[in-house]
Structure 1
Amino acid sequence: MSGYSSILAAGSSLRSEHNGPRGIIYLAWHGKALDRIDVRSAIQSSWRDCAEQAIAEQMHGALRGASSIWMRDDLYITLPIIGSDDLGVEEQLLELGCRLQQEWEERFFFAALGGSGELLDLRLHAGISIVGNNGDTGQVGDLWYEGMKRAIVHGQSVCAVQRSLQRKALEGMIRGRLITPVYQPIISLNNGAVYGYEALSRCPENRWFQGPEQLFSFASDEGMVYALDRLARERAIECSAGLSSQQKLFINITAQIMNDPFFTPGQTLLLLERYGLSPTNVVFEITERSSIEDFGAAKRTLGHYRNQGYQIAIDDAGAGYSSLQSIVELEPDYIKIDRSLIRDIHRDGMKEHIVHTFIDLAAKMGVSLVAEGIETEAELLHMEAMGVHYAQGYFLGKPMLAVV
């Protein structure tokens, strides 16, 4: 029995034996290595046996109550799932799909191909769907057929289940407002006083994101960077108690954020007022590692903020796509020189020449300079001697949970 008949028979028996939703995990091989005769032969001769053995081994554990449906070399595992809500049900299925994909891929490589498949363009894709949830109605066969199609679509990209779990982790962080700001002091090289603080975002420890850079990169890929950046901005302001009226709070924003319809002066102003701050305390740092495609639009957006009293900084100058163009077009109040140009500058004449260029440009534009990444006394003394206005880095102060 195969095709739609298999789906209908499996669906009818399973739905009669179990109440509640059932999950489908789709597993199939993808990659250019399938064009190789030896790889294709190994899959045809060994993949089904390998998978069925793994299912049998876990039949009293994670795959209790599971059944398998084969469509040529593509495997669909159906099993009852238990969860308190829709999110719990889906996440449970994603976790299982992720584990099966990783374990069975490695198992097949060793059993059928004699070792690791790292050098092969061959990956086991996994996708999931849920049948019988959210009040599904219709013919049993049709429901299972649609469920299997959803699982196939979900599993078309490599690491699909892992990315879905990453997205859920990100959504949980945003929903729970779990971003924690830390504050690194920015020191005046004129008098040694704390001029202000840069607010940096930290994410909770989890298996998916090693740090904020990876978190924001993933959010950008998933179209969620607006929400994440907005949360980071709000948390930076909410936790900045202790900032004096004369000090600045430097808040990072990415170039894409200026396209956010919620990125408006009024919203941030209300938040500042709630915490006893004003726009004159805030400097928005535009990271130079993300290119600005429409400088006209960026200038209009930033103009709204400037009219409210906010200031602008170009971050990571000298390390990204278009430092000079960003500086000339946006006319910032601050230029933050990237740490790559500061590291060991006292021993590198070329770096010194580049920083001198920024110093000359800043003087002509009436802009203040901030040297980032100061890690040694020698770097600090060199920045003072060259006439840089402000500095930050571990030598001057590590990021702290509170403004002091």
Structure 2
Amino acid sequence: MNVSRNSDSMGIIYFAWHGKAQEKAEIKGRLRADWRRFAEKVLDEDNVSGLNGVSRLWMRDDLFVCFALPQERLDRQEERLLEIGNDLQLDWEPRFMNAAFGGHVPELRLHAGVSFLDGGIASEEERLYDGIKRAIVHGQSTDAAERSLKRRALDHILEERLIQPVYQPIMAIQPDMEALFGYEALSRLPGSRWFDGPLGLFNFANEEGLTYALDRLAREKAIEGCAGLANGRKLFINITAKIMNDPTFSPGQTLLLLQKYGLSPHHVVFEITERTSIEDFDAAKRILQHYRNQGYQIAIDDAGAGYSSLQSIVELQPDFIKIDRSLIRGIHLDRMKGHLVQTFADLAAKMDIKLIAEGIEEVEELKYIRALGVQYAQGFLLGRPAPYIV
């Protein structure tokens, strides 16, 4: 591989097959027989991503492709290199499997890792060796290029504060109650290529150890958009049980932000999602009591969807229980769902807890839960999420 041409702006992509399927003799033999021929043909015919100065190096069955990158800002070059590696991995893996095996092979993956050739290393041989080594390290995990691109996108979202809040109304549904009770703040991520909606974004942030930062941003954006919240109406903000361990999750910081927008803790209800477990109830109760002392209220979200709903309710004694939409959907047609929600209603009444039914989409569902004594509801039938409050 000759890398002398414009080597200060050159990248390497490392390709190697991984997976238990290679332990099978027929798979291993076909890889050795067909993989190099396939890759060489594709490189010759496809003119990789239209780039110039493409060269290649084989180390047994591992391929290293080196090419010149356009003269751009360093961050754009890094992104371009990752995108090329990701696109080629996504393209080559199924194409080769179809050509060599007639379809997908379980437990066989094409890994791709990328690196720059370091222009600060004087020797061309040392520069190439260093670039190869870093590309191999980067490509050890599955979908390494895609993960790197997702991390860049997540960092950009955090730096530029790109979360956009929307607000879904929560309505009082009993005859003697005011119609509009409050709003649940939901996060939206407009125009994202790398995340399958907010849930995908938050799941990835959790994997990258950035749950606290993303949750804090979502909370701040939700409050910023509620400057016109009427007195007495509530703003429901989602948090996970894990967030309670965040050393920066301070009621004092949130209080300052609320005051900036003319709000107080009495406007805010923290929704603790029931889809994540609470491992230490004693610690959680101490933390939540601290927030309650400031004037905040607490809701258990997704009740009925997790595995410890009743324990969470008994231990934390929330102000609100939000019944998951999986129990509400078609409740008028399902006796078991009706019995379960009735159980929640009976328990809530004895503990002086208010109920909120989520996911109301049909008039019959609304009528049924109203008859059970549920006080509040939200769902498309009652109002869709909007980027503003009224």
State TM-score, norm by structure 1. Answer: 0.92
Q: CA deviation at 1:14?
A: 2.0
Q: How does 1:210-289 map to 2 (within 5 A)?
A: 210-289=196-275
By how many angstroms is 1:360 displaced?
Answer: 1.6
Unaligned runs of 5+ in 1: 1-9
The Cα offsets for residues 250-284 of structure 1, whole Å up to 9 and x where unpaired, read as 00011111121211111111111111100000000
* 2:141 aligned counterpart, secondary structure: coil
Indicate the larger mover: 185-194 or 248-257: 185-194
Confirm or deny: 8 A CA contact 1:187 1:391 kept in the other structure. Answer: yes
1:102 and 1:139 map into 2 onto residues whose CA distance is 34
Secondary structure of the residue aligned to 1:14 is coil
1:173-212 deviation line (CA, Å, top 9, x unaligned)? 2222111111111111232510100001111123322211
SS in structure 2 of the partner of residue 79 of structure 1? strand
1:42 paired residue number:
30
The amino acid across from 2:183 in the alignment is Y
Question: What is the aligned partner in structure 2 of residue 296 from structure 1?
Answer: 282
Q: Does 1:146 align with 2:123?
A: no
Q: Secondary structure at the match of 1:20?
A: helix
| Paired residues for 1:319-358 under 5 Å | 319-358=305-344
**Alpha-carbon distance in structure 1 between the residues aligned to 2:123 and 2:255:** 55
Equivalent-residue separation in structure 2 for 1:271 and 1:148 (angstroms)? 49
Q: Deviation of residue 395 (structure 1)?
A: 0.8
Calculate percent identity across the aligned residue pairs: 58
The answer to whether the 8 Å contact 2:227/2:263 transfers is: no
Equivalent position of 1:7 in the other structure: none
- Contact kept? 1:184, 1:397, Cα under 8 Å: yes
Give the Cα–Cα distance (whole angstroms) in 2 for the partners of residues 234 and 269 of structure 1: 11
Residue 158 (structure 2) aligned to one of 174, 177, 181: 174
Letter in 1 for 2:205: A
**Mapped partners of 1:105, 1:138: distance in 2:** 36
Which segment drifts farther, 296-305 or 156-165?
Answer: 296-305
Q: TM-score, normalised by structure 2?
A: 0.95
The verdict on how the C-alpha distance between 1:14 and 1:393 changes in structure 2, with shifts beyond 3 A counting, is same
Give the number of equivalent residue pairs: 388
The residue correspondences of 1:14-93 to structure 2 (distance < 5 A) are 14-15=3-4, 17-59=5-47, 61-82=49-70, 84-93=72-81
Contact kept in structure 2, 1:25 and 1:128, CA below 8 Å:
yes
| Local SS of the residue matching 2:307 | coil
Alignment check: 8 A CA contact 1:317 1:336 kept: yes
| Paired position in structure 2 for 1:164 | 148
**d(CA) in 2 for partners of 1:130 and 1:237?**
42
* Corresponding residue of 1:5: none
Q: Which residue of 2 aligns with 1:379?
A: 365
Deviations 1:34-75 (A, max 9, x none): 112222111111211211122222447534112111110001
Contact 1:288/1:315 (8 A) holds in 2: yes
**2:15 counterpart letter in structure 1:** L
Distance in 2 between residues matched to 1:363 and 1:60, nearest whole Å: 66
1:197 aligns with 2:183: yes
Q: SS of the residue aligned with 2:220?
A: helix
- Residue 173 of structure 2 contacts residue 375 of structure 2 at CA under 8 Å; is this kept in 1? yes
Q: Displacement of 1:386 after TM fit? A: 1.1
* Other structure's SS at 2:276 match: coil
Query: Do the aligned partners of 1:55 and 1:63 also contact (CA within 8 Å) in 2?
Result: no
Write out per-residue CA displacement over residues 337-379 of structure 1, whole angstroms, 9 at most, x where no aligned residue. Answer: 1111111222222112111211121122111111111111111
Structure 2 distance, partners of 1:174, 1:232, is 10
Q: Give the CA deviation at 1:147.
A: 2.3
Letter paired with 2:364: A
2:16 alignment partner, SS class: strand
Contact in 1 for aligned 2:3/2:124 (Cα 8 Å): no
Query: Cα distance, 1:83 vs. partner?
Result: 5.2
1:127 paired to 2:113 = yes
Task: Give 2:300's match in structure 1, choosing from 303, 314, 335.
Answer: 314
Deviations, residues 109-144 of structure 1 (Å, cap 9, x unaligned): 23322x222x432111101111226xx346543343
Give the aligned residue type for 2:247.
Answer: P
Distance 1:140 1:298, change over 3 A: farther
Q: Is the CA contact (8 Å cut-off) linking 1:129 and 1:151 kept in structure 2?
A: yes
2:87 is the alignment partner of 1:112: no
Structure 2 letter corresponding to 1:104? W
CA drift of 1:84 comes to: 3.4
Higher alpha-carbon deviation: 184-193 or 72-81: 184-193
- Tell me if the contact between 2:300 and 2:318 (Cα under 8 Å) persists in the aligned partners: yes
Moved more, 72-81 or 276-285: 72-81
Query: For residues 344 and 389 of structure 2, what CA distance do their matches in structure 1 show?
Result: 29
Structural RMSD (CA): 1.7
Segment drifting more, 76-85 vs 89-98: 76-85
Structure 2: distance between partners of 1:98 and 1:160:
8
Q: Runs of 5+ in structure 2 lacking a partner?
A: none
**Contact residue 83 and residue 92 of structure 1 kept, 8 A:** no
Aligned partners of 2:280 and 2:73: how far apart in 1? 43
Partner in structure 2 of residue 3 of structure 1:
none
- SS of the residue aligned with 1:144? helix
